Amino acid sequence: MTSFSDNGLYSEELGVGVRAVHMACLLCQRLQNDLVLKRNEHVSSKDDNSPVTIADWSVQATVSWVLSEAFGSDNVSIVAEEDVQVLSKSSATGLLEAVVKTVNTCLAEAPQFGLKAPGSALGPKEVLEAIGRCNSTGGDTGRFWVLDPVDGTLGFVRGDQYAVALALIEDGEVVLGVLGCPNYPMRKELLNYHNGSSPPSDTGDKGCVMYARRGIHRSWMQPLLRGEERFVWPNSARQIQVSPIDDPELATFCEPVEKANSSHSFTAGLAHSVGLRNKPLRVYSMVKYAAIARGDAEIFMKFARAGYKEKIWDHAAAVVIIEEAGGLVTDAGGHRLDFSKGIYLEGLDRGIIACAGSKLHETLITAVDASWNSSSL
């Protein structure tokens, strides 16, 4: 069995992307333990009132710096969630200092991952430049990266599930995806299907990075480093595949924890109509997608409330990982998600359905068509 150590198309980009996300996951683990859970003073708010922490900006700066160092800043275009407006305010001096310190601590570990560390510590200006460099608006031509530095920030703040997501898009097509899940257990039996919580911290068995490259028909998972371990590419990775279950009565479906941008009532009605009997896995972030890619669940359904527009960074990395692991991700009309229209998934037909296999997918598409007109979405 071959792995991503070959020299195929996008192999270099994938190798750097996996390393950058792995570093970012370790950064987030430290922050979740040392900052958010214990002191909680470095939690700010975006314009839409969703919480944002040092982790968001630190991950974005770190990944931006690593990609620019590896491929040249003139060759790297990044679509990302965060901007520098809050950090640039005079009132945010303390927050910026914390971000700069966190970024430098993370980048100092770069040699452990076979990457070059900065010759000297980055200053506030350099960190702001790295964050601000992520100002691409995407589109249907050329190459750009898509980064969600902390997907599921509420999960992060609450000590629950969250993800770091990085994808590369070329001419509107997602060609590789990397999904870091710092709290996701390596063993299925440690995942609590009732609330999606992480395993007890003393198990020493949580945290992974999943990744895939378009056209290889394989997806991979690597455990996060423990202690003084060094990153080994790709010897510690193992192949992952979607579940073979195609009977709705045996399938587990995922849905968002928060109800603000998703209708639990509609997905519950769909689940009942097709015969899904297992309790849903309600979990923050793209960890829902990770569960399907790894075979821990079979279905993810999301139907946004009127007026909400899905953003590409919430889906791009995970879609290619599921598809290369043998699954399907489409809108509710059965069309592939379109990542070529900018930062939003324009033209989305009603909602998103991800499945482990075509039989379950067809069942759900049919059920949506039968139920949609009677819904209030």
Report the CATH fold assignment for 248-374.
D-Maltodextrin-Binding Protein; domain 2 (3.40.190)
Cβ-Cβ contacts under 8 Å for 138 (sequence gap 6 or more): 79, 144, 146, 169, 312, 339, 340, 341, 342, 343
pLDDT in tens, 135-149: 999 999 999 999 999
Q: State the amino acid at position 136 in one-letter form.
A: S
Using 50, 70 and 90 to split pLDDT, how confident is the model at 195? very low
Fold matches, 11-240 and 248-374: no
Q: State the amino acid at position 308 in one-letter form.
A: Y
- What length is written for the chain? 377
pLDDT (mean) for 285-311 = 91
For the sheet with 299-302, list strands across it. Answer: 281-282, 253-255, 299-302, 352-355, 328-331
Cβ-Cβ contacts under 8 Å for 129 (sequence gap 6 or more): none
- Asked whether the predicted pLDDT for residue 302 surpasses 70, the reply is yes
pTM: 0.92
Q: What is the largest CA-CA distance in the chain?
A: 62
Using 50, 70 and 90 to split pLDDT, how confident is the model at 355? very high
DSSP 4: T
> Are the beta carbons of 144 and 278 closer than 8 angstroms?
no
What integer best gives the mean pLDDT of the chain?
87
> Are the beta carbons of 164 and 313 closer than 8 angstroms?
no
- Asked whether the predicted pLDDT for residue 262 surpasses 70, the reply is no
pLDDT attached to residue 36 = 54
**Residue 76 to residue 99: CA distance in whole angstroms:** 22
DSSP 231: -
> Are the beta carbons of 340 and 309 closer than 8 angstroms?
no
- Asked whether the predicted pLDDT for residue 375 surpasses 70, the reply is no
Binding residues for Mg(2+): 81, 148, 151, 314
Using 50, 70 and 90 to split pLDDT, how confident is the model at 45? low
pLDDT attached to residue 38 = 63
Binding residues: 81, 148, 151, 314
pLDDT in tens, 87-136: 889 888 999 999 999 999 999 999 999 999 999 999 999 999 999 999 99
The catalytically annotated residue of 53, 62, 102, 153 is: 153
Q: Is 2 a catalytic residue?
A: no
pLDDT attached to residue 2 = 39
pLDDT in tens, 236-250: 899 999 999 999 999
Domain residue ranges in the chain: 11-240, 248-374
**Residue 120 to residue 254: CA distance in whole angstroms:** 45
pLDDT (mean) for 246-272 = 81
Report the CATH fold assignment for 11-240.
Fructose-1,6-Bisphosphatase; Chain A, domain 1 (3.30.540)
Q: Report the candidate in 236, 233, 235 with the shortest Cα–Cα distance to residue 207.
A: 236
**Residue 91 to residue 99: CA distance in whole angstroms:** 14
- Asked whether the predicted pLDDT for residue 194 surpasses 70, the reply is no
- Asked whether the predicted pLDDT for residue 323 surpasses 60, the reply is yes
**Residue 96 to residue 365: CA distance in whole angstroms:** 47
Q: Is 74 a catalytic residue?
A: no
The catalytically annotated residue of 53, 56, 252, 296 is: 56
